[in-house]
């Protein structure tokens, strides 16, 4: 009888242990994922950029959409930016700090609804890690402002890359100005 009780108890115990193990694994997976995004965030936040401002300063300077994109990693609605269909000659600078980020000669119509470029101005655009499927995040190397994502479905005849940029994060400076 006692053995029976022991076996029953043992069986319940091992079942409990199995459930506990599953719970621990699930918790670990969740923790891992949240750690990953936190780690990325911390990494970006802790990096010092040559142009650094407080949230209040950025908010006072930027349009609400530019603040949402640049400082809060937001995405503007598709086809909302007047720069999406802008094909004039000139340069695209960061709306936060005026750093030159993209040239008009590298702009093309991707049909995505966001200004698209096949090449950035090297050194002025920085990239965070990210999956290929969702694109690597890209931001201004000078102020850290979020710009958009880069994908591998760009024009094959050039770089094969599509820098999908929020127009709100950019300012266009025509060539003769
Ligand atoms: Zn910037």
Same structural domain for residues 30 and 60? no
What is the mean predicted confidence (pLDDT) over 115-140?
90
Phi–psi pair at 97, nearest 5 degrees: -135, 5
- Asked if residue 115 is part of any domain, the answer here is yes
- Residue 176 — very low, low, confident or very high, per pLDDT cuts 50/70/90? confident
Domain with 14 in it: 2-37
Rounded to the nearest whole angstrom, what is the distance from the C-alpha of residue 96 to the centroid of ligand 1? 5
Q: 95 and 32 share a domain?
A: no
Active site residues: 164
65 or 8, which is more confident: 65
Residues 7 and 80 placed together within one structural domain of the fold: no
**pLDDT the model gives residue 22:** 63
CA of residue 170 to ligand 1 center, whole Å:
9
Distance 98 CA to ligand 1 centre (A): 6
The reported pTM is: 0.73
- CA dist., res. 101 & res. 112, Å (int): 20
**Token digits of residue 11:** 């069986």
Residue 45 lies in a domain: no
DSSP 8-state class, residue 130: -
Same domain membership, residue 27 and residue 58: no
Residues 94 and 158 in one domain: yes
Integer Cα distance of 153 and 163 in angstroms: 9
Residue 43 lies in a domain: no
Same domain, 71 and 7: no
Q: How far apart are the CA of 85 and the centre of ligand 1, in A?
A: 22
pLDDT above 70 coverage of the chain, percent:
71
The number of distinct structural domains making up the chain is 2
The answer to whether residue 26 scores a pLDDT higher than 80 is no
Same domain, 11 and 73: no
Q: Tell whether 15 and 89 lie within a shared domain.
A: no
Q: Is the pLDDT of residue 72 over 80?
A: yes
Which residues, 6+ apart, have CB-to-CB distance to 44 below 8 Å? 128, 139, 144
The angle subtended at Cα 98 by Cα 144 and Cα 146, nearest 5°, is 30
CA-only gyration radius of the chain, Å: 24
Residue 41 CA, ligand 1 centroid: distance in Å: 17
84 and 18 in a single domain? The answer is: no
At residue 55, the 3 state secondary structure works out as: helix
10, 92: one domain: no
């Amino acid at each position: 009888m006692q053995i029976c009780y022991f076996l029953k108890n043992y069986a319940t115990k091992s079942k409990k242990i199995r459930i506990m193990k599953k719970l621990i694994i699930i918790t670990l997976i969740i923790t891992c994922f949240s750690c990953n995004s936190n780690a990325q965030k911390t990494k970006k936040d802790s990096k010092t950029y040559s142009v650094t401002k407080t949230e209040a300063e950025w908010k006072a300077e930027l349009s609400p959409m530019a603040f949402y994109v640049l400082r809060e990693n937001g995405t503007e609605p598709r086809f909302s930016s007047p720069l999406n269909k802008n094909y004039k000659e000139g340069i695209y600078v960061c709306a936060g700090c005026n750093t030159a980020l993209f040239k008009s000669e590298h702009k093309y119509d991707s049909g995505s609804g966001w200004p698209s470029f096949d090449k950035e101005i090297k050194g002025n655009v920085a990239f965070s890690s990210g999956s290929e499927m969702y694109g690597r995040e890209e931001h201004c190397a000078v102020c850290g402002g979020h710009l958009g994502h880069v994908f591998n479905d760009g024009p094959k005849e050039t770089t094969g890359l599509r820098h999908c940029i929020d127009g709100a994060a950019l300012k266009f400076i025509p060539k003769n100005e």
